């Protein structure tokens, strides 16, 4: 494995790459989950026959899902309005 990766290398497709994050915090017998991007949190467990099974606890944030299309459209609208008004995010309080 190389010591460093060059993102200008043609074999790495960065135009369609992104960031994902998945987290599970277990405290006082409760589990809080979060996920960002095209990733999910799953729970592994023993099923009734003694085998191992998995249950997805979150869904991927894929842009082709109807709920994600609405979310992306909403954010796009807000960004467009912000740019048109000349508002700068770094100036927000």
pLDDT tens profile 27-49: 999 989 888 877 888 889 999 99
Per-residue tokens: 60: 């991927």
Which of 39, 32, 34 lies closest to 60 in space, CA to CA? 39
Kind plus residue range of the DSSP H or E element containing 30: strand 30-36
> Is the pLDDT at 15 greater than 80, yes or no?
no
Give the pLDDT confidence of 57-81 residue by residue, as tens digits: 887 777 777 877 777 777 777 767 6
What's the rounded mean pLDDT across residues 20-31?
90
Instruction: Determine the pLDDT at residue 93.
Output: 47
> Residue 71: its pLDDT value, please?
74
pTM, 2 dp: 0.47
Distances (CA, A) of 13 to 3, 37, 60: 19, 17, 21
Is residue 24 packed enough to be buried (19+ CB in 10 Å), middle (13-18) or exposed (0-12)? middle
């Amino acid at each position: 494995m190389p010591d460093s990766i060059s993102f200008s290398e043609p074999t790495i497709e960065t135009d369609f790459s992104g960031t994902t994050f998945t987290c599970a915090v277990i405290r006082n017998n409760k589990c809080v989950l979060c996920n960002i991007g095209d990733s999910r949190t799953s729970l592994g467990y023993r099923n009734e026959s003694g085998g191992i099974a998995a249950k997805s606890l979150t869904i991927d944030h894929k842009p082709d899902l109807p709920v994600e299309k609405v979310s992306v459209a909403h954010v796009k609208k807000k960004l467009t309005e912000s740019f048109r008004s000349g508002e700068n995010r770094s100036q927000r309080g």
